[in-house]
């Protein structure tokens, strides 16, 4: 039972950290192209609000996962996990709206000013869209899985987990590794510098 619980928790929680990484990437893109005034929320507050929301989702899901091994509390644990996943879905939807609005506004700004950016901001936003959709699909899958219960088809068969969770999260990591433009490194003063790798961005 112990290894199974550890496996289940480690499969359930890591995508929350993937999501937090995407929020920080969005803030870095906005700061790098100096488009703060075109974002619905300033990059600093975007990161703070969304990451705090993500950590709240992490705590809720972790608390629910801790109850599932106990037979008399399993249904309560499942309900808590579903609530955490539902909150994560809503936060992600708000994040996507924020990305799309900034995309539209910044593109209109460049067209109006007849200016151009040497940074690949559109390709980076495209990467954020693709990875966000994959994480959103995974979250919906998990919600349906826990809603169906431990006797449901999704719990009793492994292929849906490999397909909608494992494979989709692997693609998220590959997209981030391949398409993350290392040019997006904004200092506190708004200046832009180069970094060697995505790992250095995280530091």
Where in 8-162 does DSSP place strands (E)? none
pLDDT per residue as tens digits for the range 150-199 = 788 988 898 998 999 989 999 999 988 888 766 565 555 544 444 443 43
Q: Which residue do the tokens 């995974």 mark? A: 138
83, two tokens: 């609530």
92, two tokens: 């992600």
For the chain, the structural domain boundaries read 7-202
pLDDT per residue as tens digits for the range 96-147 = 999 999 999 999 988 888 777 777 888 889 999 999 999 989 889 988 888 8
| Contacting residues for 169 by C-beta, under 8 A, at least 6 apart | 14, 15, 18, 134, 135, 138
- For residues 24 and 120, give the distance between their C-alpha atoms in angstroms, rounded to a whole number: 17
40, two tokens: 């619905």
Residue 190 falls in which region: left (phi positive, over 0), alpha (psi -120 to 50) or beta? left
Burial (CB < 10 A; 0-12, 13-18, 19+), residue 25, is buried
- pTM, to two decimals: 0.77
């Amino acid at each position: 039972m112990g290894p199974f619980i550890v496996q289940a928790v480690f499969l359930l929680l890591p995508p929350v950290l993937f999501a937090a990484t995407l929020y920080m990437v969005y803030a870095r893109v906005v700061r790098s192209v100096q488009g703060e005034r075109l974002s619905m929320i300033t990059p600093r507050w975007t990161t703070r609000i969304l990451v705090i929301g993500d950590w709240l989702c992490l705590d809720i899901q972790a608390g629910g996962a801790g109850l599932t091994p106990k037979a008399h509390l399993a249904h309560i644990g499942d309900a808590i996990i579903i609530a955490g996943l539902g909150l994560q879905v809503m936060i992600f939807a708000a994040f996507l709206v924020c990305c799309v609005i900034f995309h539209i506004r910044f593109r209109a700004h460049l067209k109006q000013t007849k200016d151009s950016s040497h940074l690949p901001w559109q390709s980076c936003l495209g990467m954020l869209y693709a990875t966000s959709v994959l994480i959103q699909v995974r979250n919906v899958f998990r919600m349906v899985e826990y809603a169906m219960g431990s006797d449901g088809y999704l719990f009793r068969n492994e292929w849906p987990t490999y397909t909608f969770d494992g494979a989709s999260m692997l693609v998220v990591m590959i997209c981030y590794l391949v398409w993350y433009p290392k040019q997006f490194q904004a200092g506190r003063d708004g200046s832009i510098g180069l970094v060697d790798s995505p790992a250095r961005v995280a530091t």
